């Protein structure tokens, strides 16, 4: 039964999506949120299934094997057991755009399912009546033309414009949105190719940087230890000199003994400070050495990797990928993350505004064809530049 879990999740999600989409008494915008929640829930279940594992448990002397579900964000975790920014981007765009398209398609299918498809050829007048909730005025007709132009991508009153037949699934995804999806897919593929090259290079620049750090830390510890040893030798010499001179009954010897004791008193705090500094340096050297051992054990070529999915953190999305920089923030990733989040949520707000506008349910069932809302070319250009910078920094890191 366990092997069919993902298939059952998908079938249940499809059935639930269709049912929710055809429940016309629920406000359209709310239906979209419910369908979006179904999509997210499906991804959560798949993620838990993918990152889960079989565990053994003992109860009353009996050992049984059971499946322990993994993480809810499992679909975002890559082969290095790290949360992937490229995966997050692709998931966000796909879930928002696909859930909106499916919700609108099912909503526009309701009139056909119920057998009440409008026979009116004047779509503009129909939309104006819905906006006016009664007999439309000239202002309502003007508003209807504006709404139809926005939804269909063409002015229905323009010369030579013809109104196509009603097609519930004729919902165009604008080129700008397709480009955003394509950029996300290309970024995921490009990042994967770059990581594959780095994974095959076990003695690359990143590995050498980590080894150099450990080497410099060991050299610093050795230098600090040598300084402490020199000061220890000086202290022993001064103590012996002071004791020997004090045994002589000579004014000059007494003066030299006093000077030796003064130098010894001056040396003591410096020696304690040097010993403390040497201890800190040795601790850092040991930390770097341990870090080098851990990196070599977990690394995949030049890339840092976690041993198990449970070690993945969301901060992985904003950190470097290699063994040399995985402890540091990656500005290219931070920039791309911010651009993506802003654009995705802005587009979701735009879709929400269309689905929640006055008389949205009736209008979206009256227009023969429609299009999802586009966004500006500059937004696509910004997103493309952000992804390009991300891949460039990943290549040069």
**Dihedral angle of Cα 362, 364, 365, 367, to the nearest 10 degrees:** 120
Long-range pairs for 33-42 at CB < 8 Å and ≥24 separation? 35/99, 35/102, 35/103, 36/95, 36/96, 36/99, 38/13, 39/13, 39/95, 39/98, 39/99, 40/95, 41/13, 42/9, 42/10, 42/13
Residues 372 and 388 in one domain: yes
Q: What is the pLDDT of residue 137?
A: 80
Euclidean distance between CA atoms 64 and 346, whole angstroms: 50
Q: Name the residue range of residue 181's domain.
A: 2-56+64-118+167-200+329-360+368-396
Q: What is the pLDDT of residue 16?
A: 94
- Cβ neighbours of residue 194 under 8 Å, at least 6 residues apart? 391, 394, 395
Residues 99 and 127 in one domain: no
181 assigned to some structural domain: yes
318 assigned to some structural domain: no
- Cβ neighbours of residue 176 under 8 Å, at least 6 residues apart? 374, 375, 376, 377, 379, 380
Q: What is the pLDDT of residue 382?
A: 75
Residues 172 and 160 in one domain: no
Q: What is the pLDDT of residue 76?
A: 92
Residues 233 and 182 in one domain: no
Residues 217 and 127 in one domain: no
Residues 219 and 289 in one domain: yes
179 assigned to some structural domain: yes
The tens-digit pLDDT sequence of the chain (397 residues) is: 566 777 888 899 999 999 999 998 899 999 999 999 999 999 999 898 888 887 777 777 677 787 788 899 999 998 888 898 888 988 998 899 999 999 999 999 998 888 776 555 678 788 778 777 778 788 878 887 888 778 877 767 665 567 777 888 889 888 888 877 776 776 666 665 555 555 445 555 555 555 555 566 666 666 766 776 776 777 667 666 665 555 555 566 566 666 666 676 776 777 677 667 767 776 666 666 666 555 655 656 667 778 788 888 898 888 877 766 777 788 878 888 888 888 899 899 999 999 998 888 888 888 888 888 887 777 777 777 776 766 666 665 5
Residues 158 and 177 in one domain: no
Residues 80 and 151 in one domain: no
34 assigned to some structural domain: yes
* Domain's final residue, options 298, 317, 351: 298
Residues 185 and 245 in one domain: no
Residues 222 and 271 in one domain: yes
Number of domain units in the chain: 3
Q: What is the pLDDT of residue 331?
A: 82
305 assigned to some structural domain: no
Place of tokens 């290079």: 201
Residues 71 and 81 in one domain: yes
Residues 146 and 134 in one domain: yes
307 assigned to some structural domain: no
311 assigned to some structural domain: no
316 assigned to some structural domain: no
Spatial contact of 318 and 337, defined as CB atoms under 8 Å apart: yes
Q: What is the pLDDT of residue 104?
A: 94
State the CB neighbour count (10 A cutoff) for residue 216.
13
């Amino acid at each position: 039964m366990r092997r069919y879990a993902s298939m059952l999740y998908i079938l249940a999600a499809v059935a639930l999506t269709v049912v929710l989409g055809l429940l016309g008494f629920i406000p359209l915008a709310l239906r979209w949120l419910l369908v979006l929640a179904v999509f997210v829930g499906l991804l959560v279940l798949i993620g838990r299934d993918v990152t889960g594992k079989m565990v053994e448990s003992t109860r009353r002397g009996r050992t049984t094997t059971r499946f322990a579900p993994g993480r809810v964000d499992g679909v975002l975790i890559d082969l290095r057991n790290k949360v992937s920014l490229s995966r997050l981007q692709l998931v966000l765009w796909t879930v928002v755009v696909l859930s909106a398209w499916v919700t609108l398609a099912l909503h526009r299918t309701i009139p056909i399912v119920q057998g009440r498809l409008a026979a009116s050829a004047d779509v503009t007048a129909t939309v104006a009546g819905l906006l006016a909730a009664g007999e439309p005025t000239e202002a309502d007709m003007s508003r209807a033309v504006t709404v139809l132009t926005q939804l269909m991508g063409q002015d229905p009153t323009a010369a030579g414009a013809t109104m196509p037949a009603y097609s519930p699934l004729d919902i165009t995804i604008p080129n700008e949105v397709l480009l955003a999806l394509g950029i996300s897919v290309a970024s995921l593929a490009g990042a994967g190719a770059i990581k594959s090259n780095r994974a095959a290079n076990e003695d690359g620049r990143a590995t050498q940087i980590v080894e150099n750090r450990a080497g410099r830390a060991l050299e610093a510890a050795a230098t600090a230890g040598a300084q402490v040893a020199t000061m220890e030798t000086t202290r022993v010499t001064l103590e012996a000199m002071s004791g020997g001179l004090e045994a002589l009954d000579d004014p000059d010897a007494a003066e030299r003994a006093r000077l030796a004791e003064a130098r010894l008193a001056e040396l003591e705090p410096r020696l304690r400070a040097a010993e403390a500094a040497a201890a800190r340096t040795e601790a850092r050297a040991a930390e770097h050495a341990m870090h080098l051992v851990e990196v070599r054990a977990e690394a995949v070529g030049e890339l840092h990797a976690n041993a198990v999915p449970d070690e993945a953190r969301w901060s992985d999305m904003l950190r470097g990928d290699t063994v040399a920089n995985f402890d540091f923030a990656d500005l290219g990733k931070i920039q791309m993350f911010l651009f993506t989040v802003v654009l995705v949520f802005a587009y979701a707000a735009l879709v929400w505004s269309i689905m929640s506008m006055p008389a949205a349910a009736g209008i979206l069932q009256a227009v023969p064809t429609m299009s999802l809302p586009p966004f500006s070319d500059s937004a696509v250009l910004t997103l493309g530049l952000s992804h390009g910078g991300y891949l460039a920094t990943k290549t040069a890191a």
